[in-house]
Amino acid sequence: MKQTIIITGGAGFIGSHVVRLFVIKYPDYSIVNLDDLTYAGNLENLRDIESSPNYVFEKVNILDQAGLKRVFAQYNPTGVIHLAAESHVDRSIHSPLDFVYTNVIGTVNLLNAAKEAWQGQYRGKRFYHVSTDEVYGALGETGFFTEETRYDPHSPYSASKASSDHFVRAYGDTYGLPQVISNCSNNYGPNHFPEKLIPLFINNIIQKKPLPVYGDGLYTRDWLFVKDHATAIDLVYHKGENHSTYNIGGFNEWKNIDLVKLLCSLMDKKLNNAPGTSDQLITYIKDRPGHDRRYAIDASKINKELGWKPSVSFEEGLQLTIDWYFDNQEWLKHVTSGEYLKYYETQYQS
């Protein structure tokens, strides 16, 4: 069926990979990228597809109810894939209200816009909310997050995402809005904003700057290549069951310090450095408050029901990522000027 899909946050890291996948894979669809271009949104991420006939960009803030109403009336979407969010935990510790506005109120605005545009005519319609494994809180040494794990968020970011998930489910239960949610683990790959661990450390190694490891460095994350997340989103959007949740993850757990050492060794090879050169930049600094010890996703439901599994190994994905940052130094320069420098100073001042 021909579709018109509003993808919010399409100029960001994951959103840009989702927009590209849909624009190329579904030439009959119309893809509307709705994004307000905050510090994390960058149309350079989409240069290669921006002139495609099935793609259009709308600069709209999801806090702008009139703007959303206008876009829904103009394009008459069959679906929404909602990725727009404030996404960085450290920023949420400095400015929690920004996360409440965009992640909670912005999501409710979008739900209202869909509900009002669709007027109960829900056949063939779908509201897909992209969320995070951080809503489940922290694991001990063992175990996995399943779709049944109780929500237990610890940071303002994860609390705002948990709240938005609850609102999406509430709109399903109360108004019958056809909704689906996925909760994914840590993504990495091209176009990742260099405030997050992997791209920050790639940039710092290039700049010969310290690599600031929080606390004891023994925190564990489950890493997934961003293009594998995009293919999972494609499957959930098309084949997922309404009013369901799907956990998405890489079955790829790494303690931060082990990941950083692997990254250092790959970077040393890339830079023709003597082995061990980049390790010398590792600097332990004070911990992130409320830091969740371990995340690990049980992705067996999406595997069994929709046949999804990650296709890129971690070493392959990291190498692709490093190569991308070396080939796109202009992109890196553009995003690490201005506001970024102020953020960096505040976050990493001793």
- Tell me the residue nearest to ligand NAD as measured from the CB: 12
105 by DSSP, 3-state: which?
Answer: helix
193 binds, among ligand DAU, ligand NAD, none (CB under 5 to 8 A by kind): ligand NAD
Q: Which of 8, 103, 164, 256 binds ligand DAU (CB under 6 A)?
A: 256
Under rule CB under 6 A, residue 23 binds ligand NAD: no
Q: How far is the CB of 30 from ligand DAU (least distance, A)?
A: 28
Q: How far is the CB of 200 from ligand DAU (least distance, A)?
A: 5
Stretch that binds ligand NAD, among 36-44, 231-239, 250-258, 339-347 (CB under 6 A): 36-44
In the structure encoding, which two tokens stand for residue 350, read together?
A: 């001793």
Q: How many CB atoms are closer than 10 A to CB 342?
A: 9
Under rule CB under 6 A, residue 20 binds ligand DAU: no
How many helical (H) and strand (E) elements, i.e. helices and strands, does the chain have? Answer: 13, 12
Active site residue 29: no
Report CA 51 to chain centroid distance, whole Å: 24
Under rule CB under 6 A, residue 106 binds ligand DAU: no
What is the secondary structure of 46-83 as a DSSP string?
Answer: GTTTTT-TTEEEEE--TT-HHHHHHHHHHH--SEEEE-
Do residues 219 and 291 make contact, with C-beta atoms less than 8 angstroms apart?
yes
Q: Which of 5, 7, 31, 85 binds ligand NAD (CB under 6 A)?
A: 85
Under rule CB under 6 A, residue 321 binds ligand NAD: no
As beta bridge partners, residue 6 has: 32, 80
Q: Which of 3, 5, 6, 15 binds ligand NAD (CB under 6 A)?
A: 15
Enumerate residues 169-198 that contact ligand DAU by CB under 6 A. Answer: 185-186, 196-197
Do residues 214 and 5 make contact, with C-beta atoms less than 8 angstroms apart?
no
Long-range contacts of 314-318 (CB under 8 A, 24+ apart): 314/223, 314/225, 314/250, 314/252, 314/254, 315/262, 315/266, 317/188, 317/189, 317/223, 317/225, 318/188, 318/198, 318/262, 318/263, 318/266
Q: Name the nearest CA neighbour of 213 among 259, 277, 168, 174.
A: 259
Enumerate residues 89-148 that contact ligand NAD by CB under 6 A. Answer: 102, 106, 130, 132
What contacts 347, CB < 8 A, 6 or more positions away?
Answer: 90, 94, 195
Q: Which is nearer to ligand DAU, 132 or 245 (CB)?
A: 132
Enumerate residues 153-212 that contact ligand NAD by CB under 6 A. Answer: 161, 184, 186-187, 193
219 binds, among ligand NAD, ligand DAU, none (CB under 5 to 8 A by kind): ligand DAU
Longest dimension (CA), the chain: 64
Q: Which is nearer to ligand NAD, 62 or 322 (CB)?
A: 62
Q: How far is the CB of 265 from ligand NAD (least distance, A)?
A: 23
Kindly list the catalytic residues.
133-134, 157
Residues contributing to the site for ligand NAD (CB under 6 A)? 9, 11-15, 35-38, 40-41, 61-63, 83-87, 102, 106, 130, 132, 161, 184, 186-187, 193
